[in-house]
Structure 1
Amino acid sequence: MNRIDQKLQTLQEKGEKAFITYMTAGLPDMERCKELIRTQEKAGTDVIELGIPFSDPVADGPVIQQASYESILLGTNITKVFQAVEEVRGEGVEIPIVFMLYYNTILHYGVQAFVDRCLQVGVDGLLIPDLPYEEQGEINACLDGQDTTYLLQLVSPISADRIEMITKEAKGFVYCVSSMGVTGQAADFHKEVRSYLEKVKAASPIPIMMGFGIRNAEDVANLKDTIDGAIVGSYFINLMKQYGYDMSVAEQYIRKFKKELNEN
């Protein structure tokens, strides 16, 4: 059973919402990146979205663009990230890990080789924001026949006519983009965000997660009845950078968010 399914099933049985973070692979260096993964598992993060640095991250705002650039300057690449994941898995880390990356990285590595390596090291999911539903055939063919690495689906407020198509065979969870534009827009959600999320929830056979612009649990408090969890990216990256990747700050933030997210 996929680790994402296991985690979300456990949360559902407990009546809890999922807390997912985005972190850029390789920052502040690869060793402390691995430490941050271990810290997050200990603190209670439910799923880690591990961003693979790329030169043209079209779905990302200034914070993640800058983090990606800084990581590239440190020499981070997909081969090194695979190795880091393999190492933390070897240490017993079981938190679900999702790669958020752009399709050029996969094409350059080789689609089948990339999928094989994901299966080998323990990558649980893939989020590819520049790969439309209609163009997922090649990677789906490589992923077919196994349930340890999922291709996760994204929907946005302009996906109204496509929600049923995108979600009907989705696996793991559906990533609901909460606003138009790029990441990191400080809770500036789409004006009809509730209606949009309700449509996705009604169509999706699996949990739905809300991302883009979320900073704290209060930002999603009035939408908790509709979503199954929240994703924090740019704010978490800024927090880590501000405090010099102090692991105690990460742990405190995660525990506080998780507690408040699941308060009635």
Structure 2
Amino acid sequence: MNRIEAKMKALQEKGEKAFITYITAGLPDLEGTKKLLKAQEEAGLDVVELGIPFSDPVADGPVIQDASYKAICNGINLKKVFVTVEELRKEGSELPIVFMMYYNTILHYGVEAFVKKCNEVGVDGLIIPDLPLEEQEEIAKYLNQDETTILIQLVSPVSGDRIPKILDGAKGFVYCVSSMGVTGQGADFHKEVLSYLKSVKAVAKIPVMMGFGIRTAEDVKPMKDTIDGAIVGSHFIRLMEENDYSTKVAAEYCSTFKKELN
């Protein structure tokens, strides 16, 4: 059982909802990223999605696209992020870390070498939005050799009949995309979002998380009885940019959201 699974189990035993944020690696710089992650962990964040900067982040809206571009301009790449995660672990952080990234970055690094490095440094999970179920065999082959790093599955309002197939054997949690299009649409959820989430919950054997467009715990109040947690990305990035990547603001936001969510 890796850190994500252990955290989800502990939350379910306590009857708590999970709170997850997304942050682009390398902003304001790698040392600043580490400070933000530590501050959020201390504030009660359950899992973090660490975005690996990519030149063409097709699932992301303008806010995360811009953050990715800034990080690339800062010279941030996958190798440097691996070093940062390794440092975090050596400094005692047990925050479950999920890499949110695109498959081309993994292919460029080498799939087998990438999985091996994730296991070595302490990456707990992967979310790869441009890797559909039918094309996961190559990376799954290496992930299944070592249970340390797991692949998180994404479903959307149009997944429909494919949901049971996508979730068959899924690990960690399922990421439910709450709207059509890209990230950061400001609580503009799909009109059938509740029935869609219920259909996922009916077949999922793992916790169901809702993401895309969430800003406050109030946004997910109507879905609270169906979901097991919420994910905030673009809003958190914007909040950090507006407050000069303040660890205090990050901690306060996480603490408040988590409290209101539960």
Output the TM-score relative to the length of structure 2: 0.99
1:95 is the counterpart of 2:95 = yes
**Aligned 1:172-183 pairs, distance under 5 A:** 172-183=172-183
Amino acid at match of 2:20: I
Within 2, Cα distance between the matches of 1:19 and 1:180? 22
Q: In structure 2, what is the equivalent of residue 6 of structure 1?
A: 6
Aligned to 1:20: 20
Partner of 1:261: 261
Shift of 1:145: 2.9
1:116-195 aligned within 5 A: 116-195=116-195
1:169 offset after TM fit, Å?
A: 0.8
Percentage of matched positions with identical amino acids: 69
Query: Structure 1: which 5+ runs fail to align?
Result: none
Partner SS, residue 209 of structure 1: strand
Offset of residue 168 of structure 1: 1.3
1:49 aligned partner: 49
Question: d(CA) in 1 for partners of 2:65 and 2:117?
Answer: 26
Offset at residue 147 of structure 1 (A) = 1.7
Deviation at 1:191, TM superposition (A): 0.2
Local SS of the residue matching 1:20 = strand
Cα distance in 2 between the residues matched to 1:251 and 1:98: 19
In the other structure, the counterpart of 1:64 is 64
Equivalent residue, structure 1, for 2:218: 218
Is the partner of 2:160 in helix, strand or coil? Answer: coil
Distance in 2 between residues matched to 1:65 and 1:188, nearest whole Å: 19
For residues 136-193 of structure 1, the C-alpha deviation after alignment (integer angstroms, 9 at most, x for no partner) is 0000001113221001100000001100000011000000000000000000000000
The amino acid of 1:33's aligned partner reads T
SS at 1:179's partner residue? Answer: coil
Name the structure 1 match of 2:209: 209
Question: Which whole-Å CA distance do the structure 2 matches of 1:114 and 1:145 have between them?
Answer: 13
Aligned length in residues: 262
Amino acid of the structure 2 residue aligned with 1:19:
F
Report the CA distance between 1:55 and its aligned residue. 0.2
Amino acid at match of 2:159: S
Aligned amino acid, residue 224 of structure 2: K
Query: 1:81 and 1:40 mapped to 2: Cα distance?
Result: 18
What is the CA–CA distance in structure 1 between the aligned matches of 2:87 and 2:250, rounded to whole Å? 21
User: Root-mean-square deviation (CA), in Å?
Assistant: 0.5
Deviations for 1:184-228, whole angstroms, at most 9, x for unmatched residues?
A: 000000000000000000111100100000000000011010000
* Superposed displacement of residue 27, structure 1: 0.3
Take 2:96 and 2:15, find their aligned partners in 1: how far apart are those partners?
19
* CA distance, structure 2, for counterparts of residue 118 and residue 4 of structure 1: 14
Tell me the equivalent position of 1:230: 230
Q: CA deviation at 1:258?
A: 0.5
Deviation at 1:36, TM superposition (A): 0.6
The residue type equivalent to 1:39 in the other structure is A
* DSSP-derived class of the 1:161 partner: helix
How far 1:102 moved relative to its partner? 0.1
Matches within 5 A, 1:240-259: 240-259=240-259
Distance between the aligned counterparts of 1:11 and 1:144, measured in 2? 25
The normalised TM-score by structure 1 is 0.99
5+ residue gaps, structure 2: none
Letter in 1 for 2:209: M
Residue 78 of structure 1 corresponds to 78
